Amino acid sequence: MVSGLPMTHSLPQIDSRHRRSVEPISTPDRLLLGPGPSNAHPTVLSALARTPIGHLDPLYVDLMGEVQELLRYAWQTDNRLTLPMSGTGSAAMEATLANTVEPGDRVLVAVKGYFGNRLADMAGRYRADVRVIEKPWGEAFTLDELDSALQHHKPAILAMVHAETSTGVCQPMEGVGDLCRKHDCLLLLDTVTSLGGVPLYLDEWKVDMAYSCSQKGLSCPPGLGPFTMGPRAEAKLAARKDKVPNWYLDVSLLNQYWGSDRVYHHTAPVNMNFGMREALRLLADEGLDNAWSRHRCNAEALWKGLESLGLEMHVPEALRLPTLTTVRIPDDVDGKAFSSYLLNTHGIEVGGGLGALAGKIWRVGLMGYNSTPENVNRLLNLFETELPRFREGSCVAA
């Protein structure tokens, strides 16, 4: 007993019912052909398994610079503030708004799917005056529609999704940046399902802010959110009247760590950045044009094969994403039962619809490492041989 303190009760005995042996983790091999994540490249997985080093180690500091330069290449931008947020793509999404939205700022969100709605929700949480324009889920905005909306709403920021993961639509971007300059607003772009697999030219398109994720076209596990901010967005950040209302995502603070000073901000996920560096290196070694062409060729083979089986794509070909295909579920098919069968019997993940498209489509991803002719053929063979068993009146195998 410590002098002056009462004797504490002895610790209770742990009931044997609470004792159990915990086995080492074991996960099945899956082929992830859904909306994300995609399978990580083996080289990336090897990098993740390397011995960690300190987040201020000179070797890691050098690696940070490499990651930034490779991200600039992947996005085709010279933006100084380009870095991977320590968090998933949703953290990078929120960072774009947290740093540039002040209470009362008008944010116009062009919604054509689930993730446009998420942008609107996030902007509202930072007390923006949120205005929304909408298109049916499967369509894209025209320049005339955007021009008219910008003229009417006069926003400080236009936020839109380049690659809408919920619908499979790729929003044409030529001329959108010019419209934003004409109407004196910033252009914020979601590139979560396009980075690494779909042509992206941030500087040429005059995009002021963009974000993405690590787990789709880059073939790295989820955990990092690429973020980039151009000079016009930097100027808005510098002119804020108050602090950024999110300490963790405050780019003015993060810049002291990712900038030339390398001042401690938080304990960075070192091994995730090992993986990100290798994922971006593999993309650079392949070359952007080659990677974009590979994704397009494999997607077109998938579209042709599915259509030959009598299936209908949800999006017109001119607007389809090569990374994410939306397939309409036939009226006489239980779509969820079929996707569950693919997962449980063949180890292949195919996604279902979200929001307005729930139960109406399958979402098939061919992203990064997974975009191969072999995966296309494997999936088409299963659709051909197994899908008929899930039509009404057929006997589904156990």
Q: 166-179 pLDDT, tens per residue?
A: 999 999 999 999 99
With cut-offs at 50, 70 and 90, classify the pLDDT of residue 15: low
Residues 6+ apart with CB under 8 A from 148: none
CA angle 190, 193, 198 (to 5 degrees): 100
pLDDT tens-place string over residues 276-302:
999 999 999 999 999 999 999 999 999
Residues of the chain with CATH 3.40.640.10: 42-285
On the question of a cis peptide bond just before residue 37, with omega within 30 degrees of 0, the verdict is yes
Residues 242, 104 contacting (CB under 8 angstroms):
no
CA neighbor of 75 nearest in space, from 194, 163, 233, 215: 194
pLDDT of residue 18: 65
Write down the pLDDT at residue 5. Answer: 42
Whether the CA torsion 188, 194, 195, 198 is positive or negative: it is negative
Percent of the chain scored above 90 by pLDDT? 90
- Other beta carbons within 10 Å of 32: 23
CATH class of the structural domain 42-285 = alpha beta
Predicted local distance difference test score (pLDDT) of residue 21: 77
- Which has more pLDDT, 13 or 228? 228
Predicted confidence (pLDDT) at residue 2 exceeds the cutoff of 50: no
Mean pLDDT in residue range 73-80: 98
Here the tokens at position 99 are 């740093």
CATH class of 31-36+288-390: alpha beta
* List of residues 6+ apart from 394 with CB closer than 8 A: 388
Give 23's pLDDT tier (boundaries 50, 70, 90).
confident
**What's the alpha-carbon Rg for the chain, to the nearest Å?**
24
Which has the higher per-residue pLDDT, 245 or 260? 245
Percentage of residues in the chain with pLDDT exceeding 70?
Answer: 94
Give yes or no for residue 140 having a pLDDT over 90: yes
Q: Is pLDDT above 50 for 158? A: yes
Cβ neighbours of residue 250 closer than 8 Å, sequence gap 6 or more: 98, 99, 243, 244
Instruction: Please report which confidence band the pLDDT of residue 84 belongs to, taking 50, 70 and 90 as the band edges.
Output: very high
For the stretch 378-391, pLDDT in tens is: 999 999 999 999 98
Residue 12: pLDDT band (50, 70, 90) is low
What's the pLDDT at 394? 62
Q: What is the mean pLDDT of residues 310-336?
A: 97
**Beta bridge mates, 158:** 108, 187
Mean pLDDT, rounded, for 299-319: 98
Total length of the chain? 398
The helix (run of H) or strand (run of E) holding residue 391 is none
- What is the overall mean pLDDT for the chain? 94
The dihedrals phi and psi of 14, each to the nearest 5 degrees, come to -75, 125
Q: Give residue 52's identity as a one-letter amino acid code.
A: P
SS3 for 230-282 is: CHHHHHHHHCCCCCCCCCCCCHHHHHHHHCCCCCCCCCCCHHHHHHHHHHHHH
Measured distance CA(188)–CA(194) in Å, rounded: 14
Which segment of 32-36, 55-59, 202-206, 319-323 scores lowest on mean pLDDT?
Answer: 55-59
203 by Cβ neighbours in 10 Å (0-12 / 13-18 / 19+) ranks as middle
Query: For position 259, what pLDDT does the model report?
Result: 87
Q: Which residues pair with 164 in a beta bridge?
A: 169
pLDDT of residue 223: 97
Q: Helix or strand or coil: residue 115?
A: helix
Q: Is the pLDDT of residue 9 over 90?
A: no
Stretch 98-120: mean pLDDT: 98
Every domain of the chain with CATH number 3.90.1150.10 lies at 31-36+288-390
pLDDT of residue 224: 98
Q: According to the model, what pLDDT value does residue 3 have?
A: 43
Residue 126 is predicted with a pLDDT of: 97
Q: What's the pTM?
A: 0.92
255 is written with which tokens? 């810049």
Question: For residue 91, is pLDDT > 80?
Answer: yes
Q: Which of 283, 303, 249, 306 is nearest to 369 (CA)?
A: 283
